[in-house]
């Protein structure tokens, strides 16, 4: 049979074990959250780099289009038939 002192000691030990377990669970959760944050930051950095590359490619395509447009004039403009050069087989 447990004496009052033994009961108090057992309660204190259980409190300590429970508190220690809670502390470990909290630390484990913090560690998991830190890992998730690091993973998300890495993903965000990679997406930022990919976006930068895509924007640079878009810029390059826009410059090329402007250059081609200036050489061809307006590719959508309609010319009069009299200004058209007949094909070589005529």
pLDDT tens digits, residue range 60-88?
Answer: 999 999 888 777 776 566 667 677 777 77
Average pLDDT, the chain: 80
| Residue 40 included in any domain | yes
- For the chain, how many structural domains are there in total? 1
Mean pLDDT of 26-35: 88
pLDDT of residue 26: 82
pLDDT of residue 74: 65
Q: What is the separation of C-alpha 23 from the centre of its chain, rounded to a whole number of angstroms?
A: 33
Do 52 and 44 touch, CB atoms closer than 8 A?
no
Full residue range of the structural domain in which residue 14 is found: 8-66
| Residue 23 included in any domain | yes
Give 50 or 71, the one with higher predicted confidence.
Answer: 50
pLDDT of residue 11: 75
Q: Residue 23: CB partners within 8 Å, gap ≥ 6?
A: none
């Amino acid at each position: 049979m447990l004496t009052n002192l033994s009961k108090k000691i057992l309660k204190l030990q259980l409190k300590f074990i429970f508190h220690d377990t809670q502390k470990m669970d909290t630390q484990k959760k913090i560690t998991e959250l830190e890992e998730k944050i690091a993973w998300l930051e890495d993903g965000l950095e990679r997406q930022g780099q990919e976006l930068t590359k895509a924007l640079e490619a878009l810029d390059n395509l826009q410059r090329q289009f402007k250059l081609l447009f200036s050489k061809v004039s307006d590719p959508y403009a309609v010319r009069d038939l009299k200004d058209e050069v007949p094909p070589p087989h005529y």
